[in-house]
């Protein structure tokens, strides 16, 4: 299969370009349920630097986005406490797809269908460059993590659990 270095534009890359954000493109062979660990391995990156975009919801089914290290899980209890919710849980794939406009496995926090509050694990902001989904399965973009704060208003939280 021929590999293209440029992947066709997605709502995420359109937003990044319109906002004049510099990013690098990192296409890879997508693996169902491979997640950030798989993409990190294939691309030769530390999974701690590959950021997952998770669509979750609070007790009232209001959606929110959580950006988490690829080798960590979210403590929903800690997250709920920090954002003033009674509870937080992951959305089902169908609901996540509906909120974000992306397919699970290709969810980017940029260019989502619905505007949702975004929360970023605080330690991600200490990394000089992260890989995050560019809006398609098998496609990550490299950016400075501060872009998530500047462009999405991402609020830092501390809710990482090591996998």
What average pLDDT is seen over the chain? Answer: 94
Per-residue pLDDT at 7 = 63
Per-residue pLDDT at 4 = 45
- Please write the tens of the pLDDT for every residue from 115-127: 999 999 999 999 9
Other C-beta atoms lying within 10 Å of the C-beta of residue 74:
22
Across 9-19, average pLDDT: 97
Percent of the chain with pLDDT over 70: 96
Across 5-19, average pLDDT: 87
- Picking from 1-5, 28-32, 136-140, which range would have the lowest pLDDT averaged per residue? 1-5
Across 66-92, average pLDDT: 97
The contacts found for 78-81 with CB under 8 angstroms, 24 or more apart, are 78/157, 78/158, 78/159, 79/119, 79/157, 79/159
User: Would you mind telling me the total number of residues written for the chain in this entry?
Assistant: 163
Q: Label residue 23 by pLDDT band (50, 70, 90).
A: very high
Per-residue pLDDT at 8 = 78
Across 89-103, average pLDDT: 97
All domains in the chain, ordered by first residue = 11-162 (3.90.960.10)
44 has a pLDDT exceeding 60: yes
- Smallest CA-to-CA distance from 137 within 26, 1, 2, 5 is with 26
């Amino acid at each position: 299969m021929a590999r293209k270095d440029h992947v066709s534009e997605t709502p995420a890359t359109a937003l990044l370009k319109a906002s004049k954000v510099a990013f690098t493109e990192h296409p890879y062979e997508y693996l169902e349920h491979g997640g950030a660990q798989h993409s990190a391995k294939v691309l030769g990156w530390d999974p701690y630097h590959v950021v997952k975009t998770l669509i979750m919801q609070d007790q009232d089914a209001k959606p929110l986005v959580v950006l988490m290290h690829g080798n960590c899980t979210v403590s929903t209890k800690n997250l709920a406490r920090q954002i003033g919710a009674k509870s937080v849980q992951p959305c089902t794939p169908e609901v996540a797809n509906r909120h974000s406009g992306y397919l699970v496995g290709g969810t980017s926090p940029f260019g989502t269908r619905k505007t949702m509050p975004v929360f970023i694990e605080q330690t991600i902001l200490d990394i000089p460059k992260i890989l995050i989904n560019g809006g398609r399965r098998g496609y990550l973009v490299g950016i400075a993590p501060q872009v998530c704060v500047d462009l999405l208003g991402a609020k830092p939280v501390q809710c990482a659990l090591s996998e």
